[in-house]
Amino acid sequence: MKLDSKVPSGPLEDKWSKHLKDIKLVAPNNKRNHDIIVVGTGLAGGSAAASLAELGYNVKSFCIQDSARRAHSIAAQGGINAAKNYPNDGDTIWRLFYDTIKGGDYRSRESNTYRLAQISNEIIDQAVAQGVPFAREYGGLLANRSFGGAQVSRTFYARGQTGQQLLLGAYQAMMRQVHEGNIEMHTRHEMLDLVVAGGKARGIVTRDLVSGEIRRWMADAVVLASGGYGNAFYLSTNAKNSNVTAAWRCHKRGAGFANPCYVQIHPTCIPVSGDYQSKLTLMSESLRNDGRVWVPEKKGDDRHPNDIPEEDRYYYLEEKYPAFGNLVPRDVASRNAKIVCDEGMGVGPTGRAVYLDFADAIERDGRKTISEKYGNLFEMYENITGDNPYEEPMRIFPAVHYTMGGLWVDYNLMSNIPGLFVAGEANFSDHGANRLGASALMQGLSDGYFIIPYTIGNYIADADIDEIDTGHEAFDEAAENAQQHIDKLLSVKGDKSVIDFHRELGQIMWDKVGISRSEEGLKQAIREIRALRKEFWENVRVPGEASNFNKYLEFAGRVADFLELGELMAEDALHRDESAGCHLRKEHQTEEGEALRNDEEYAYVAAWEFKGVNGELQEKLHKENLEFEFVELKQRSYK
Amino acid sequence: MADTFTIHLKIWRQDGPDKPGKLVDYTLDNVNEHMSFLEMLDVLNEQIVAEGREEPVEFDYDCREGICGSCNLMINGRAHGPKAMTCTCQLHMRNYSDGDTIVIEPFRAKGFPVIKDLIVDRSAFDRIIEAGGYVSVKTGSAPDANSIPVDKSVADTAFDYATCIGCGACVAACPNSSASLFTGAKLAHLNRLPQGEPERKRRTVAMVEQMDKEGFGDCSNYAECEAVCPKGISISAIAEMRRNYVKAALAGDEV
Amino acid sequence: MASFLQALKSQVGRKILTGVTGVGLIIFIIFHLATNLQVFGDVHAFNEAAYALESMGWLLYILEAGLAVAFLLHAYVGISIWWRRRKARPRGYEKYQSKGGPSHVTWASKSMIFTGIVLLVFLIIHLDTFKFADPGTVILPGGGEARDLKALMLATFQQPIYAFGYTAVMILLGFHLGHGFWSAFTSLTMKHNRYSALIYAAGIVFALLMAVGFLFIPLYIYFGGGCEAALIQCQ
Ligand SMILES: Cc1cc2nc3c(=O)[nH]c(=O)nc-3n(C[C@H](O)[C@H](O)[C@H](O)COP(=O)(O)OP(=O)(O)OC[C@H]3O[C@@H](n4cnc5c(N)ncnc54)[C@H](O)[C@@H]3O)c2cc1C
Ligand code: HEM
Ligand code: SF4
Ligand code: FES
Average of per-residue pLDDT values in chain A: 95
| pLDDT band with cut points at 50, 70 and 90 for residue A273 | confident
Interface of B with A in 39-98 (CB under 8 A): 39-40, 42-43, 45-46, 48-50, 52, 55-56, 58, 60-65, 67-70, 86, 90, 92, 94
Interface of B with A in 96-115 (CB under 8 A): 115
| pLDDT band with cut points at 50, 70 and 90 for residue A244 | very high
Report the residue of chain C nearest B177, measured CA to CA.
C88
Candidate of A384, A425, A558 to mutate for ligand 1, largest count of ligand atoms within 8 Å of Cβ:
A425
Domain ranges of chain A: 12-262+404-462, 266-399, 473-599
Segment B29-62, tens digit of pLDDT:
999 999 999 999 999 999 999 999 999 999 999 9
* pLDDT number for residue A145: 85
Residue where one domain finishes, among candidates B91, B116, B141: B116
| Chain B residues within an 8 Å CB radius of A161 | 67, 163
Ligand 4 contacts CB of residue B164 (under 6 A): no
Segment A181-209, tens digit of pLDDT:
999 999 999 999 999 999 999 999 999 99
Ligand 4 contacts CB of residue B163 (under 6 A): no
Q: Is the pLDDT of residue A84 over 90?
A: yes
Q: Which domain holds residue C162?
A: 2-93+104-229
Once rounded to an integer, what is the mean pLDDT over residues A452-469?
95
**Smallest CA separation from ligand 3 atom 6, residue:** B164
Residues B98 and B147 in one domain: no
| pLDDT band with cut points at 50, 70 and 90 for residue C235 | low
* pLDDT number for residue C2: 54
Q: How far is the CA of B72 from the centre of ligand 4 (A)?
A: 8
- Around A232, how many Cα atoms within 13 Å sit in the side-chain half-sphere? 34
- Pick among A123, A279, A454, A498 to test the B interface (most B CBs inside 10 A): A279
Residue C111 in contact with partner chain B when CB distance is under 8 A: no
Q: Ligand nearest B164 Cα, by number?
A: 3
Helix crossing, A110-129 with A93-103: angle to 10°? 120
| CB nearest to C3's CB, from B178, B218, B249 | B249
Inside any domain, residue C80:
yes
Residues B94 and B133 in one domain: no
Fold of A266-399: Flavocytochrome C3; Chain A, domain 1 (3.90.700)
Q: Give yes or no for a contact between B21 and B12, defined as CB atoms under 8 angstroms apart.
A: yes
| CB nearest to B218's CB, from C15, C100, C103 | C15
- Pick among C15, C91, C97, C99 to test the B interface (most B CBs inside 10 A): C99
**Smallest CA separation from ligand 1 atom 37, residue:** A226
* pLDDT number for residue B1: 46
Residues B90 and B184 in one domain: no
CATH of the domain at C125: 1.20.1300
Region of poorest pLDDT, from A444-453, B114-123, C3-12, C100-109: C3-12
Is B129 close to A544, i.e. CB distance below 8 A? no
Once rounded to an integer, what is the mean pLDDT over residues C99-123?
96
Is A164 close to B155, i.e. CB distance below 8 A? no
In chain C, the number of structural domains is 1
Segment B220-253, tens digit of pLDDT:
999 999 999 999 999 999 999 999 999 998 887 6
Segment A119-137, tens digit of pLDDT:
999 999 999 999 999 999 9
Q: Is the pLDDT of residue A578 over 50?
A: yes
Q: Is A28 exposed, middle or buried (0-12, 13-18, 19+ CB in 10 A)?
A: exposed
* pLDDT number for residue A274: 85
CATH of the domain at B239: 1.10.1060.10
| CB nearest to C10's CB, from B84, B109, B208 | B208
Ligand 2 contacts CB of residue C116 (under 6 A): yes
| CB nearest to A541's CB, from B49, B119, B196 | B49
Q: How far is the CA of C22 from the centre of ligand 4 (A)?
A: 40
Once rounded to an integer, what is the mean pLDDT over residues A244-249?
98
Segment C15-24, tens digit of pLDDT:
999 999 999 9
Residue B209 in contact with partner chain A when CB distance is under 8 A: no
Residue where one domain finishes, among candidates B95, B116, B137: B116
Residues in chain C: 235
Ligand 2 contacts CB of residue C215 (under 6 A): no
Is A240 close to B64, i.e. CB distance below 8 A? yes
Q: Which domain holds residue B66?
A: 4-116
* pLDDT number for residue A317: 93
* pLDDT number for residue C225: 67
Q: Give yes or no for a contact between C226 and C155, defined as CB atoms under 8 angstroms apart.
A: yes
Q: Give yes or no for a contact between A219 and A57, defined as CB atoms under 8 angstroms apart.
A: no
Residues B108 and B13 in one domain: yes
Q: How far is the CA of C81 from the centre of ligand 1 (A)?
A: 42
> What is the spatial distance between Cα A52 and Cα A32, in angstroms, rounded to a whole number?
11
Candidate of B120, B165, B214 to mutate for ligand 3, largest count of ligand atoms within 8 Å of Cβ:
B165
Q: What percent of chain B has pLDDT over 70?
A: 98
Residue where one domain finishes, among candidates B97, B116, B135: B116
Region of poorest pLDDT, from A443-452, A512-521, B246-255: B246-255
Residues B142 and B215 in one domain: yes
Q: Is the pLDDT of residue B3 over 80?
A: no
Is C187 close to B255, i.e. CB distance below 8 A? no
Residues B15 and B135 in one domain: no
Q: Is the pLDDT of residue A337 over 60?
A: yes
Segment A462-511, tens digit of pLDDT:
999 999 999 999 999 999 999 999 999 999 999 999 999 999 999 999 99
* pLDDT number for residue C43: 85
Residues B146 and B112 in one domain: no
Once rounded to an integer, what is the mean pLDDT over residues C137-165?
90
Q: What percent of chain A has pLDDT over 70?
A: 99
Nearest-CA neighbor of B160 among A323, A161, A342, A121? A161
Is C85 close to B177, i.e. CB distance below 8 A? yes
Is A168 close to B162, i.e. CB distance below 8 A? yes
Is B215 close to C88, i.e. CB distance below 8 A? yes
- Around A221, how many Cα atoms within 13 Å sit in the side-chain half-sphere? 32
Once rounded to an integer, what is the mean pLDDT over residues A70-75?
97
> What is the spatial distance between Cα C134 and Cα C127, in angstroms, rounded to a whole number?
12
Residues B104 and B131 in one domain: no
Fold of A473-599: Methane Monooxygenase Hydroxylase; Chain G, domain 1 (1.20.58)
A:B CB pairs within 8 Å:
223
Inside any domain, residue C62:
yes
pTM for the predicted model, two decimal places:
0.96
Is B239 close to C190, i.e. CB distance below 8 A? yes
Residue B165 CA: nearest ligand 3 atom is 7
In the chain, the amino acid numbered C183 is S
Per-state percent for chain A, helix, strand, coil, to nearest 5: 40, 20, 40
Inside any domain, residue C27:
yes
Q: What is the DSSP string of chain C?
A: -HHHHHHHTSHHHHHHHHHHHHHHHHHHHHHHHHHHGGGGSSTTHHHHHHHHHHTTTHHHHHHHHHHHHHHHHHHHHHHHHHHHHHHH-SS--SS-----TT----HHHHTHHHHHHHHHHHHHHHIIIIISS---EEE-TTS-EEE-HHHHHHHHTTSHHHHHHHHHHHHHHHHHHHHHHHHHHHHTT---TTTHHHHHHHHHHHHHHHHHHHHHHHHHHHHHTGGGSTT----
Please tell me which residue in A70, A288, A313, A330 is annotated as part of the active site: A330
| Chain A residues within an 8 Å CB radius of B136 | 176
Ligand 2 contacts CB of residue C81 (under 6 A): yes
- The shortest C-alpha distance from C168 to chain B (Å) reads 24
Once rounded to an integer, what is the mean pLDDT over residues B17-28?
96
Q: Is the pLDDT of residue B67 over 70?
A: yes
Residue B20 in contact with partner chain A when CB distance is under 8 A: no
Ligand 3 contacts CB of residue B169 (under 6 A): yes
Residue B184 CA: nearest ligand 3 atom is 1
In chain B, the number of structural domains is 2
Out of 3.40.50.720, 1.10.357.10, 3.30.420.10, 3.50.50.60, select the CATH number for domain A12-262+404-462.
3.50.50.60
Inside any domain, residue C235:
no
Q: Give yes or no for a contact between A152 and A159, defined as CB atoms under 8 angstroms apart.
A: no
Q: How far is the CA of B92 from the centre of ligand 4 (A)?
A: 13
* pLDDT number for residue A41: 98
Active-site annotation holds for A253? no
| Chain C residues within an 8 Å CB radius of B212 | 10-11
